[in-house]
Each structure stands twice: as C-alpha cells, then as structure tokens.
Amino acid sequence: MHRSPAPDGALRAVSLDDLSGSLSDPVLAALLQSSRDCIKVLDTDGRIRYMNPAGLVARQLNAEMDVVGRRWWDLWPEDSHPVVQEATAKGAIGETTDFRGFCPTARGRPKWWDVRVSPIRDGDGEVTGVLVVSKDVTDAVTNRKMYDTIALEMRHRLKNAFAVASAIAKISARQTPEHQRFAEELVARFSSLAVAQGKLVEASSDFPLRSLVADLVDAAGVSEETIDVCGMPDCLVDEAQMRVIAVVIGELTTNSLKYGALRNGGEIHCEGRIEDGWLHLSWIEPLENVPDVASEASSSTSTGLTVIQRIVSSAGGQVSRVMNQDGLRVDFSLVHQLGDEGAD
C-alpha cells in the first residue's frame, strides 16, 4: 500500500488489518476493496486515511499517496467546501448525511456524485472516524439535463403551435361564418392548453393548484373574485394533472360565460381535498338567475362534457355531473402522488 506523510508528519494510511480491526469485521474490509463506489475512511477531523481502489480509479488518482492525509473537502471545488465540511462534522458527532454534488476528477473530468457520510464507531459506541461512500451519478444527471432541455424546447414549440392553430381557426371562421361557433370553442380550448404550456415553460417541477386555476380563469377574461378558488387544497400538481385540470376548468369556464352564471354576473365556487392518494376537485355553479334553457346548455351535457369525460378518463380519473335546483356541480378526481402535502 502506498503511504504518504501527513501535513503534520503524524498521519499514516490505514492498512487492511487496521480497517478490519476497527470495523470489527474483516468482511467489511473486503467490501471496501471490491466495491465499485468511491469509499473513503476519514478521521474525525476530516483527513483521508483510506480510499478504495475503485475510488482512486473513479477520481483519476494514481495512488493512495495522492489523497491520504488531505482534508476530504480539499478534493472538492471551493464552493462545495461548506456542504462537505458540514457533512463531515455531522459524521464526526454521530450523524448520517446525504447530498448530491459536482466534483471533477483529478484530471478535470466532470463528475456528479451521490454522497453518504456516516460515523464509524468502536465497540463502545464512540465515533472513531467517518465513512464516506460516493456513487458516480454523472450519466443520470447528464441524461436528465438533456431530457429537460429537449422537453423545454418541445414545450416552447407546442405553446407556439397552439397560438398558430388558434390563428388558423379564427381566419378560417371568417371565410365560413357557419363555423364561427366551432372556431370560438376550439380557440378557447387552445387558450387553456396554452396557459398550461406557459406554466410548464416557466416552472422546473410541479405547479401550485390555486395559481394554475387563477391563471386559467384570467386567460378567459374572468376576474379572480368571480371564481372563488380558496376552497381548493393549497397543493402542487404535476404536469399530467395540470393538463387535465386546464382542459376541465377551461371547458367549464367557457360554458358558464356563454350560458351560465358567469354570463349573468354570478359567481363560481371551486373546492377540493386530497384523500387516500386522490385529488378531488369540484366546480359549483349556482344557476338561480339563469333561464331554464340556458341552464341546460350550461350543464355541459354535450360536447363540453364529452371532452371533460374523455380527458379525465384518459388520465385514470373519474368525473360526475349533478344538476338540481341549486345549480350545477361537476366533480372530478385525479390520482395524486405528490408526497408531503395535505389539503387546507
């Protein structure tokens, strides 16, 4: 084994005998030698005492003498030092820490690492060192970044496509007035989807539900005060859920503006909850000031309801419509898998 003097002249490399003795199991020493991950043993001050062969290869180091005696964080870019030092300090007092970080090899090759820092204890439970296991996740991170870049470009293009399609529909309707109503409905649907696409372009992960609905309502030219979204859960929705919600809310808003409460100065109430892995949402529209003929049209019994049913069903959800003396109620449910949220 290659050894190097420590900066203070006192530190030495850890031998396999030392490892097996300190870890109380020679099998663990063999694991350190054979693992494909970069494994390091540090003292409680963060100085490297051992790095396994795979680690030396992964970091493009010639021998253990290149690292033994050095502070672990000195192998990292300077802006990563606080994170690495904090993880080391926690390991030295008995805590385990995980983090992901960027750290090039000794020869400058870009690398991303998933790192776990754990305490090493002796037979009495005292912390005698720190174990660091670093897994090379460069391919996963690079592929994800490439996917995100391509997805962002496709979203931009799709958003532009909605705008072009809307313009074509409007121009075509001018030439064939009998298709004017169909063109208006088509443009309204494109508008809802364009709002959703705009959010996809602007955000990097998930989307606030209330903000999404407010933007959809605004795109339809309806004030936020007219459609109350406070009863909705203050949660995030993913990309698939967002597209479904955009279509449903867009259809219901358009129908209400044409035939229902919104046309007659009424208000809409939206509410919902998260329960047993499902996001349940409701559109509640009073129709007391709406003529009977318009009420039935506002209930989305034809094309609008068909669109809603199809898009919700395609996402594995459920939808129901109830029409009574109190007005229209449309309930739809979507699978909700985001973890740390609850409903208000």
Taking only the tens place, the pLDDT of each residue in 111-150 is 999 999 999 888 788 898 999 999 999 888 877 776 566 5
How far is 206 from 237, CA to CA, in rounded Å?
6
Q: Residue 258 above 70 pLDDT?
A: yes
98 φ, ψ (degrees, to nearest 5): -120, 140
Domain 223-344: CATH superfamily, name plus number: Histidine kinase-like ATPase, C-terminal domain (3.30.565.10)
How many angstroms separate the CA atoms of 161 and 94, rounded?
A: 56
Summarize the chain as % helix, strand, coil (round to 5): 45, 25, 30
**Cα–Cα separations (whole angstroms), residue 255 to 45, 147, 179, 248:** 68, 38, 18, 11
Partnered with residue 101 across adjacent β-strands are 113
Find the angle CA(227)-CA(232)-CA(233) to the nearest 5 degrees.
155
Euclidean distance between CA atoms 272 and 241, whole angstroms:
14
Q: What percent of the chain has a predicted confidence (pLDDT) above 70?
A: 65
Please give the CATH architecture assigned to the domain spanning 16-136.
2-Layer Sandwich (3.30)
Pairing of strands 227-231, 268-275: parallel
Catalogue the E-assigned strands of the chain.
38-42, 48-51, 97-102, 112-121, 127-136, 207-208, 227-231, 236-237, 268-275, 278-285, 318-324, 327-335
Distance of alpha carbon 139 from alpha carbon 125, whole angstroms: 38
Q: Please check whether residue 227 is in contact with residue 270, taking contact to mean a CB–CB distance below 8 angstroms.
A: yes
Residue recorded with tokens 């870009």: 110
Give, for 22, the enclosing helix (H) or strand (E).
helix 16-22
pLDDT digits (tens, 9 = 90+) for 37-68: 888 889 999 999 888 888 888 888 876 667 88
The least confident of 131-135, 314-318, 321-325 is 321-325
Cα separation, 31 vs 155, whole angstroms:
46
- d(CA 17, CA 11) in angstroms, rounded, equals 16
Tell me what the pLDDT averaged over the chain comes to. 76
Q: What is the mean pLDDT of residues 335-344?
A: 57
The residue type of 328 is L
Amino acid at 256: S
Residue 134 has a pLDDT of 92
Alpha-carbon distance values, 171 to 176, 192, 194 (Å): 9, 20, 19
Length of the chain in residues, anyone?
Answer: 344
